[in-house]
Amino acid sequence: MNTVTLASVAAVVGSRLQGRNYVALGDDELSEELRRVARNFRRIPTVSDYDGLVVMFVRGGLNFKVDGRKAGPCQNGWQGLEKVKLSSDFRTKEALVFWKPRLVKGSFLKKPDEQKARLAEIRSGLELPDGFLTFGDASLLAQLIHGHCALISGERIPLNGDWARTDTYGEGGSICLGGHDEHGLDYNQFPDDDQGEPIGVFPIGVLGLG
């Protein structure tokens, strides 16, 4: 992806951050190349329809334990999260993130490898950029979920109290975000072979601006 194009996007959002960690972008604010990616992204098959904004600018340097719970309402303030040992202290990079705030059709009741295979199948079929369609790190996904709720629709996603798997692991399994209700977003750890919970994946594609 052209770095000049991405730099122009960074210039657009810079004046709109105003202390926020994220900014939603409409298609009219994107270059033709990025609009094409957005059009293809909307074609990703999901469990429910969505034709809204699919691009979010996310600020760099945010992590899950500290910034995830500050991004928006979290159930019980995510008490105990500070004691959870994570696979990495991933911090977000300043990036333009394509994502569809609906869980991917055919991603439920599957192990992580099966879910990754499903995403790879979709990426190939829609000719999306290399590296697109991952689960997303918990640090990033928390910002996306709260940003969508705050800036775009007010929806508590994942819908229906479902869960979304992330690339982040704790000692008890992969970190999943969900159970989103009037009390806020929740997190939990689920073993990879646990197929008894409604765990799907969001489609995410990251274009770094650094």
State percent of the chain over pLDDT 70: 92
Q: What is the mean pLDDT of residues 70-87?
A: 93
Q: Retrieve residue 112's tokens.
A: 């992580």
84-130 pLDDT, tens digit per residue, is 999 888 899 988 999 999 999 999 989 999 999 999 999 999 999 98
CA distances from 162 to 16, 45, 119 (A): 32, 17, 18
Instruction: Note down the domain range covering 163.
Output: 3-208
Q: How many structural domains is the chain composed of?
A: 1
Beta strand pairing call for 55-58 and 95-99: antiparallel
pTM for the model stands at 0.91
- Tell me which DSSP letter residue 129 carries: P
